Amino acid sequence: MASIKDVAAEAGVSVATVSRVLNDHPSVSADARTRVLAAVKALGYRPNAVARSLRTDQTRTLGLVISDVLNPYFTHLARSVEEQARALGYSVIIGNADERPDLQDHHVRTLLDRRIDGLLVSPTDGGSPLMLDAVRSGTPMVFVDRWIPGVDVPVVRSDGQAAVHDLVTHLHGLGHRRLAIIAGPATTTTGQERVEAFRRALGAYGLPLPDACIGQGDFQAESGRRATERFLDLAEPPEVVFAADNLMALGALDAIRARGLRVPDDIALAAFDDIPWFVHTDPPITAIAQPTGELGRAAVRALVDRIEGRPPASVTLPARLVVRRSCGEPAPRERVAFREPSALQEPLREPPAPREPSPVMNRSQS
């Protein structure tokens, strides 16, 4: 592959001049610029980003470690992160932890070794030594969705408290009194918070949340299936199962179907995190929707602020309840309930990103 030396030779200038042209440095004669550009084109030259990074000590790259790519919520998040990063002149490298702390650490390590400029993490656990090291080492970092308590890192997340309350109100109104939840891991903030919000909301209606009605899941489908089976084996099975994410709701559906039971007649189902398929499941599933796209964008903004020396801000956005038919109420049409602009109304496809800067050789400095 042609290097800057080849271009310099071809153009009859020094590599310094070539570099200046490529970086839009003002003090280059029009003549030199023309010759360099011609040489670049003739040789099909592209600057080596590795060398540039070594020299400038910046990679213009963000790392994103998500808990599970197979979860549409995180896929959506990743997409909006990449889009916003691109708009700001950064690339993003995604690491998928599959809800496994060891894999998460693997990706954090790899990303750090690559000297990414900043790290976006949705932690799978309460904070491994490596993760805490990363924070202490001063790598710009922002937590998205989940976070690690007691650590001084901005957090961009959504607050489901009010929406969970709305959900319980909805369920209570339908006459349900025995409600169960499939929780995420207690080592994750979202794992805990959603149970707590649920418990608090039940409390407001004088309803208990006995241990038997808390299924321990891990945010993956299989755990939702197992937890639901356990519920169904109870002497008095719950009337409602609330899955703390969409994958566990999928597992719950598998378990319910395997027993030949019907939703919502035999048992009601609701989920945290809304996905397009919930409109078409049998029956359509009542869910709590997060403003996922906006979360991703806000997280990137905060991280880039931090990287570029501006003070980053934590952001908390409200989630909202979307009522469908899985809890028993007839809903003739898609009914969006209660509060806040919809994350579902958020188009699946977001507006096209700005055109790429055209000259092949400009580093996007934004």
Quote the least distance from Cβ 269 to its own copies, whole Å: 10
Contact criterion met (CB below 8 Å) for 91 and 61: yes
SS3 236: coil
SS3 221: helix
Q: Residue 20 touches which of DNA, its own copies, none (CB < 5 to 8 A by kind)?
A: DNA
Query: Within 13 Å and on the Cβ side, how many CA atoms surround 281?
Result: 26
Q: Residue 283 touches which of its own copies, DNA, none (CB < 5 to 8 A by kind)?
A: its own copies
Tell whether residue 186 is a contact of its own copies (CB under 8 A).
Answer: no
How far apart CA 364 and CA 86 sit, in angstroms, is 10
Instruction: Tell me how long the chain is.
Output: 366
Name residues contacting DNA, limited to 23-52 (CB under 7 A).
23, 26-29, 31-32, 45, 47-48, 51-52
Tracing tokens 């007649």 back to the chain, one arrives at 265
Instruction: For residue 348, give Cα distances in angstroms to 111, 113, 293, 294, 344.
Output: 29, 34, 9, 13, 8
Which one-letter amino acid corresponds to residue 6?
Answer: D
Q: Residue 211 touches which of its own copies, DNA, none (CB < 5 to 8 A by kind)?
A: none
Interface residue with its own copies among 9, 15, 43, 69 (CB under 8 A) is: 69
Q: Residue 78 touches which of DNA, its own copies, none (CB < 5 to 8 A by kind)?
A: its own copies
- Which window, 21-29, 70-78, 184-192, 251-259, contacts DNA (CB under 7 A)? 21-29
How far apart CA 304 and CA 142 sit, in angstroms, is 10
Residue 108: both structure tokens together: 């954090």
- Tell me whether residue 217 or residue 283 sits nearer to its own copies (CB atom): 283
| Residue 17: DSSP 8-state | H
Contact criterion met (CB below 8 Å) for 241 and 231: yes
Calculate Rg over the CA atoms of the chain.
25
Interface residue with DNA among 205, 265, 309, 363 (CB under 7 A) is: 363
Quote the least distance from Cβ 300 to its own copies, whole Å: 15
Quote the least distance from Cβ 53 to DNA, whole Å: 8
> Which residue from 127, 120, 128 is spatially nearest to 92, judged by alpha carbons?
120
Name residues contacting its own copies, limited to 128-167 (CB under 8 A).
133, 137
Residue 109: both structure tokens together: 């390590």
| Residues that bind its own copies in the complex, under the rule CB under 8 A | 1, 44, 46-51, 53-54, 59, 69-70, 72, 75-76, 78-79, 82, 86, 91, 93-94, 96, 98, 100, 102-103, 106, 109-110, 112-115, 133, 137, 220-222, 250, 253-254, 257, 276-277, 279-284, 348-349, 352-353, 355-356, 360
Q: Which residues bind DNA (CB under 7 A)?
A: 1, 3-5, 13-20, 22-23, 26-29, 31-32, 45, 47-48, 51-52, 54-57, 363
